[in-house]
Amino acid sequence: MLIDIPSKLEAALIDCSLPPWQLDGAFLADLTVEEYRAKLAAAPQFQETATALRHALTKEGGGYAVLRLGNVAKALGTGTRLRRLVTGFAAEVAVPFSPFPRWPLWKDIGVKVDKDPGKSSGIGYNAFHMDLVNATLPPDFTTLLCVRPDPLGGGLSILSDPHAAIARLSEHSRALLAKSAYHYGTFFDLFGVGKEYKPFPILNSSGSGDGFVRFTAKMLERSELAPAHADAAKELARELVRGQVSLMLQSGDYLVVNQRRFLHGREALHSGQETVPDSDRRLLLQLFLRAPAGDSPAA
């Protein structure tokens, strides 16, 4: 869902000056949440816009939204002031936090032509996945603020509903995906995401209703899986592609994904990235959100 910012709210956001955020460990401090909320709540139509954002992420059939802050970004630039405003919107959804102690609250995702093309900062196709798939407590929401799109026109963001994809699979495939037979990646120097989950099931069969579909297509190439389980995961991967939606993020667009509802990825960047100066290449900023205890981001 695309959420445009009303003109009166845009003007108020451009005039708004929020203080630097404070952290409580890895999480945005309650005091900062209260300060940001008090200032932003006074802006015309902020509450209605924040409500629309929450509903887009949690209503039936929903699970992702793009908050279109392009005019605000054009007026303020894409530096500190915009990041504080976006952090304020994010805090209306859930609690912003950084699971990576060595990185700040917002993590840069730039473009490196010499990196693995399938990685988030690579130039190739970044297949469907959920972030921190091998953690017992993955972030409830993953979010991306577009600072600069690919100047050559590539890098579409892709999204797919894994629950809809699973519904199209055979009962046999679903049974295989519910087995604790999958693994991917490493797990170290992380905070606020629980323990390493290895091996894990792609589908939750415990009855806990956590809603996560623990899938990353990268496991198909980079993890040794039993043939039957790999085939079931490949079938799911094909269905995810079949049901995908694509978005071209522009400067100031803020994509929020409910990880219990949608998986995400990226189409390849346009060829010729090595000719683009580093300062002009695609740049996204990533922020993770944790739903407060007792809240259900899937509700």
Residue range 81-126, pLDDT digits in tens = 999 999 999 999 999 999 998 889 999 999 999 888 888 889 999 9
| DSSP code at position 40 | H
Q: What is the mean pLDDT of residues 53-77?
A: 96
Question: Does residue 239 surpass a pLDDT of 70?
Answer: yes
Check residue 56 and give its pLDDT.
97
- Give pLDDT, residue 292: 81
Residue 243 contacts by C-beta under 8 Å, 6 or more apart in sequence?
A: 160, 161, 164, 165
| Contacts for 285 with CB less than 8 Å, ≥ 6 apart | 83, 106, 107, 108, 109, 144, 145, 147
The enclosing H or E element of 74 equals helix 70-76
pLDDT above 80 for 296 = no
Compute the distance between CA of residue 261 and CA of residue 126 in angstroms, rounded to an integer.
19
**What confidence tens digit (pLDDT) does each residue in 139-150 have?**
999 999 999 999
In the predicted structure, residue 289 carries a pLDDT above the cut 50: yes
Residues 6+ apart with CB under 8 A from 255: 64, 65, 66, 143, 144, 145, 146, 157, 247, 249, 264
Residue 203 has pLDDT above 70, yes or no: yes
Q: Given a cut of 80, is residue 206 above it in pLDDT?
A: no
- In order of 38, 44, 52, 143, 240, the CA distances from 265 in angstroms are 35, 34, 24, 12, 11
Q: State residue 209's pLDDT score.
A: 42
pTM recorded for the entire structure:
0.94
2-4 and 64-68 as β-strands: parallel, antiparallel, unpaired? parallel
pLDDT computed for residue 299 by the predictor: 47
Band of pLDDT at residue 207, cut at 50, 70 and 90: very low
pLDDT at 295: 65
Give the Cα-Cα-Cα angle 55, 56, 57 (nearest 5 degrees): 90
Q: What is the mean pLDDT of residues 178-197?
A: 93
* CATH code of the domain made up of 2-290: 3.60.130.10
If you average pLDDT over residues 262-289, what whole number do you get? 96
Q: CA of 237: how far to CAs of 41, 47, 139, 231, 289, in Å?
A: 42, 38, 22, 10, 26
Q: Is 159 helix (H, G, I), strand (E, B) or coil?
A: strand
